[in-house]
Amino acid sequence: GQNIDQPTEMTATEGAIVQINCTYQTSGFNGLFWYQQHAGEAPTFLSYNVLDGLEEKGRFSSFLSRSKGYSYLLLKELQMKDSASYLCASGGANNLFFGTGTRLTVIP
Amino acid sequence: GAVVSQHPSWVICKSGTSVKIECRSLDFQATTMFWYRQFPKQSLMLMATSNEGSKATYEQGVEKDKFLINHASLTLSTLTVTSAHPEDSSFYICSTTGETQYFGPGTRLLVL
């Protein structure tokens, strides 16, 4: 079966760092994806991890531990525009399974 | 990444009517496209995989006779919601696949 868990909501302060965790149990794992979705808009791709370790891309970094079925998205120097839902998804490009998303609110 | 468009961006219709949503891959040929549905405050749920030149593959629980998918060319897939009812009101999003999935801007459907 497929199962992805992430916190429903998080709040963080502008300029701070926030870590959004994701645990997954999926069959046929081909990678772990993170997407950002602003309210009323479609998701946009943030990152992809297929090997263990940390992938850094500007203010956003994503970590994967395949043995633990665990990933996190790290957002640094938070900006107000980072308020959005962050979706964790596992699988491959042709077979993505999405978590329910974490709604992040950035406050001044 | 790939550029995907959807039309219309939003639509309001009466119960019992049919609505067609178009998904276009603007900058590359897509043999496979995906259709998702997203209810408020919920995640994306895959409805079906659209395959160019062949029948779509529907996920469990999705009525293939209600949600008609046509993928007649490498740049266009359409989703027709037939005999729409208020419970079909949702955000419908398509995507194409490359090294990841690239999503269209979505179509918000409201059935009165």
The answer to whether B35 faces chain A, any CB pair under 8 Å, is: no
- Among A78, A23, A14, A35, which residue's Cα sits nearest to residue B101? A35
Sheet with strand B19-25: strands edge to edge: B4-7, B19-25, B76-81, B67-73
pLDDT digits (tens, 9 = 90+) for A49-58: 999 999 998 9
| Cβ–Cβ below 8 Å for B93 and A43 | yes
What percent of chain B is predicted at pLDDT more than 70? 99
Q: State yes or no: pLDDT of B47 exceeds 80.
A: yes
Residue type, B5: S
The answer to whether B44 faces chain A, any CB pair under 8 Å, is: yes
**Partner-chain residue, chosen from A44, A94, A99, that has the shortest CB–CB distance to B32:** A94
What percent of chain A is predicted at pLDDT more than 90? 72
Predicted confidence at residue A93, as pLDDT, reads 65
Residues 6 or more apart in contact with residue B72 via CB below 8 angstroms: B52, B53
Cα–chain center distance at A43: 11
| Beta strands, E only, B1-112 | 4-7, 10-13, 19-25, 32-38, 45-51, 57-58, 67-73, 76-81, 90-97, 101-103, 107-111
| Cβ–Cβ below 8 Å for A94 and B97 | yes
| Cβ–Cβ below 8 Å for A99 and B43 | yes
Q: Which two tokens stand for residue A73?
A: 């998205």
The answer to whether B42 faces chain A, any CB pair under 8 Å, is: yes
| φ, ψ dihedrals at B106, nearest 5° | 90, 155
Shortest Cα–Cα distance, B48 to chain A (Å):
11
pLDDT digits (tens, 9 = 90+) for A15-29: 999 999 999 987 777
Q: State yes or no: pLDDT of A11 exceeds 70.
A: yes
Residues 6 or more apart in contact with residue B63 via CB below 8 angstroms: none
Residues A33, A96: contact at Cβ < 8 Å?
Answer: yes
pLDDT band at residue B40, thresholds of 50, 70 and 90? confident
pLDDT digits (tens, 9 = 90+) for B67-102: 999 988 888 999 999 999 999 999 999 998 877 788
